[in-house]
Amino acid sequence: MMKISRMAPSLLFVLAAVAAVVAQTPSRPGGAPAAPATVTTTTAGTAATTTTGNVQQTLQEILEEPSTADTYRYDPQGRRDPFQSLIGPKQVLQPGQRPPGVPGFLVDELKLQGVLKTRQGLVAMVNAPDNKGYLIRVGDKVLDGEVIRITNSSVVFRQEVNDPTRIERYREVVKDIAPEAAKK
């Protein structure tokens, strides 16, 4: 009880000094002070510093900032979009939404018919579900992957896997010319 009664006069002195400085600070329209006010009072080894002017001015500037959608822009710089779901379902494409030709077919829908040797390298001939033959080269894209390697008897695709339980995002799919003969 004795300690509280000793601290009460010094606390009242500090509060009175702060109130006097705040009351003397001229303010602009909108309530923000014209200049920051700082009061330092030392009583019984305790320093109390108040910067009410700086705080009010900063708050006023924050409140006056425009809050439109045009003020914020996300620059990915090669990183993935943080708002895109990692485990969410991939969009289901309708048959009319697929691009024409080889880029519109899935890896599982293609059947290897043969491999041709050209001056530029090996080219694979595949049969698609529309009963047409297509020539594909290394680097050609398909709907769920791309061609990464062509050998004399097979084509290797890198297929995208949308499975959150797997660590790898891709798997290699090998299409052979004669898969039945290889099994025997």
What does the pLDDT read at residue 182?
Answer: 55
List of domains in the chain: 2-66 (no CATH), 98-179 (2.30.30.830)
Q: pLDDT over 90 for what percent of the chain?
A: 33
pLDDT digits (tens, 9 = 90+) for 12-49: 666 766 666 656 655 555 555 555 544 454 544 444 44
108 to 16, 127, 132: CA distances (angstroms): 81, 11, 16
* Low-confidence spans in the chain with pLDDT less than 50: 37-39, 41, 43-50
- pTM, two decimal places: 0.47
AA letter at 58? T
What does the pLDDT read at residue 154?
Answer: 95
| 155 CB neighbour count, 10 Å cutoff | 25
